[in-house]
Amino acid sequence: MERSKPRRRRNRGLERLKTLLIVLLSLSAIYLTGLALVQNRVSGSQGLLSGLISLFRPQSTVETSDPGNTVQLTAAARPVRIAVCDGVSRYAVQYNTTQTDKLYDSVGILLGEALSSADSPTVVTESVWQAALSAPGVWFDFLGKIPLETLSAWTGEGGINTALTGSARRIAVALADDGVRLYYHNESDGLYYTCKTAVTYQGHMDELIAGYGGNGVPFAFELGTDSGYDGLDPYVLISASAPTPNIYRASNPLANLDDTLISSLQQALSFQTSYYAIPNGIRIREGQETLEISNTGTVSYTTAEGTSSRYPVGSEYGYDITEVVETTRRMAADTVGRYCGAARIYLMDVTETDTGLSVRYGYSLNGAEVSLSGGDSAALFTIQDGQITAFTLRFRRYEDAGQTSLVLNERMAAAALEALDPEGRELVLCYSDSGGDTVQAGWVAK
């Protein structure tokens, strides 16, 4: 019995040691858990504080990059006229958005490939340009003057071809002796250019342009001087029959400024603070920036000279033209474009000014330009020192009235135009919107 006492003492000592270790491990776990909770609480508080700061910070900005948004980029580059030539016959569509979109979905890949792979452009004569329009290939008319580097980004999955300069409205991808070439009329200097491309003709382009045949739609320059069309711009497409343009109901979507509409416009334009009433609308002031929304259909933004704008598009030392166009286009699409009904917005032009840039967007209906009263555009942006310093948005909504209007055939319209102005101007259908309840198209000379 005496021999067992030391062993019992040793067992009791081991049990005490185990108990002490368990207590220490438990205390350590409690300490680590408490530390983690403190850190998480601090982190959560910082996140909440950051969220509150971002909510009330006045200098919010517009997001300018969204590489995954290929649907919007494609829509931004939609042409209003397309002509496909197989070298013998030409199939052309205009003043019909459904047909033009369908054709572009089939052959538009050629434009993207040509723009993204084009090498440095060289000047060519107008006769070379005209020959390209009769060669196997595709001709595109975008209605507005688009910077070529921006068009290459829109059609080439976001890639920008820096070899291309200037702006173009009309572009052709056509077969030449040394392969498929890109041709365009540079709206900036009035000259014609061509570039070699990596587009494959055999087994690719030839298959895309085959099977359309002809539908009797020549260019005016192909009809000769005694055709009755010699007074027109040479690149007017002469339809086989007189068009029957749709009539549209027109309205002002800002006529009733309810809270939901105001909130939507505030969100689209990155203004979060409260507003106050002014005659015919509301005004929002944040620092030196002012946003006014009028029930007459106009939204305007200004910032005081020398102050920061919430819409950066570059830096004070320069700008990226594609960033400028894409930022302003998205703002136009989220505002006037969202409420325009059956119309589309399109880039009219980008103009250099003494202090920066001016970017304009217009409305089009079924491939025809809409002319707003007073020469207004759907959206006008002023860019200075790497930021948007002012803009004016003109809201109009158009809905198909289910009716069509009668217009003169192009030969009669051309004869009337030549009698009035034999300068070789462009004859186009245009919707004149003077603020009434309906709009219908008629021939105009541009």
Residue 97 lies in a domain: yes
How far apart (Å, rounded) are the C-alpha atoms in residues 160 and 163? 9
Res. 421 pLDDT band, cuts 50 70 90: low
Tokens of 426: 């462009």
Quick one: average pLDDT of 233-247?
91
Residues 387 and 266 placed together within one structural domain of the fold: yes
Number of structural domains in the chain: 2
Q: Is residue 141 part of a domain?
A: yes
> Is pTM beyond 0.75 here?
yes
pLDDT at 1 exceeding the cut of 70 = no
Average pLDDT on 4-8 reads 41
Banded model confidence at residue 75, pLDDT cuts 50, 70, 90 = low
Is 113's pLDDT higher than 80? Answer: yes
Residue 275 CB neighbour total at 10 angstroms: 17
Residue of higher predicted confidence among 3 and 384: 384
Least confident of 142-156, 335-349, 351-365, 401-415: 401-415
Give me the domain span that covers residue 118.
Answer: 70-217
What's residue 416's pLDDT?
A: 76
Q: Which of 217, 240, 261 finishes a domain?
A: 217
Report, as an integer, the average pLDDT of 247-261.
Answer: 97
Assigned domain for 374 exists: yes
Q: In terms of domains, do 274 and 207 share one?
A: no
Evaluate whether residue 62 is within a structural domain.
no
The pLDDT-based confidence of 360 (bands split at 50, 70, 90) is very high
Q: For residue 234, is it within any domain?
A: no
Reported confidence tier of residue 95, pLDDT bands at 50, 70, 90: very high
CATH code assigned at 287: 3.30.310.160
Look at 71-75, 197-201, 248-252 and tell me which has the smallest mean pLDDT. 71-75
Q: Are residues 74 and 135 in the same domain?
A: yes
Residues 150, 292, single domain; the answer is no
One domain for residues 88 and 211: yes
- 211 and 252 share a domain? no
Looking at the chain, the whole-number percentage of residues with pLDDT higher than 70 is 80
What is the pLDDT at residue 25?
Answer: 43
Q: For residue 413, is it within any domain? A: no
Q: Report if residue 17 sits inside a domain.
A: no
| pLDDT tens figures, 81-93 | 999 999 999 999 9
CB 319 within 8 A of CB 309: no
Pick 56 or 245 by higher pLDDT: 245
Which of left, alpha, beta for 67 (phi over 0: left; psi -120 to 50: alpha)? alpha
The stretch 133-145 carries a mean pLDDT of 97
Res 343: pLDDT = 97
Last-in-domain residue among 365, 381, 400: 400
Say if residue 156 is in the same domain as residue 289.
Answer: no
pLDDT of residue 15: 52
Mean pLDDT calculated for residue range 296-300: 97
Residues 82 and 199 in one domain: yes
- Do 125 and 191 reside in the same domain of the chain? yes
Asked if 286 and 201 sit in the same domain, the reply is no
Mean pLDDT of 22-43: 39
Residue 331 pLDDT? 96
Q: What is the mean pLDDT of residues 315-335?
A: 88
Residues 212 and 252 in one domain: no
Q: Which residue would you say has higher pLDDT here, 258 or 16?
A: 258
Predicted local confidence at residue 27, as pLDDT: 46
3-state secondary structure the chain: CCCHHHHHHHHHHHHHHHHHHHHHHHHHHHHHHHHHHHHHHHHHHHHHHHHHHHHHCCCCCCCCCCCCCHHHHHHHCCCCEEEEECCCCEEEEECCHHHHHHHHHHHHHHHHHHHHHCCCCEEECHHHHHHHHHCCEEEEEEEEEEEHHHHHHHHCCCCCCCCCCCEEEEEEEEEECCEEEEEEEECCCCCEEEEECCCCHHHHHHHHHCCCCCCCCCEHHHHCCCCCCCCECCCCECCCCCCCCEEEEEECCCCCCCHHHHHHHHHHCCCCCCCEEECCEEEEEECCEEEEEECCCEEEEEECCCCCCCCECCECCECCHHHHHHHHHHHHHHCCCCCCECCEEEEEEEEECCCEEEEEEEEEECCEEEEEHHHCCCEEEEEECCEEEEEEEECCEEEEEEEECCCCCHHHHHHHHHHHCCCCECEEEEEEECCCCEECEEEEEC
Is a pLDDT exceeding 70 seen at residue 297?
yes
Among 91-95, 196-200, 321-325, 436-440, name the one with the lowest average pLDDT: 321-325
On whether the CB atoms of residues 129 and 106 are closer than 8 A, the answer is no
Q: Are residues 325 and 396 in the same domain?
A: yes
59 vs 172, more confident = 172
In a domain, 439, yes or no: no
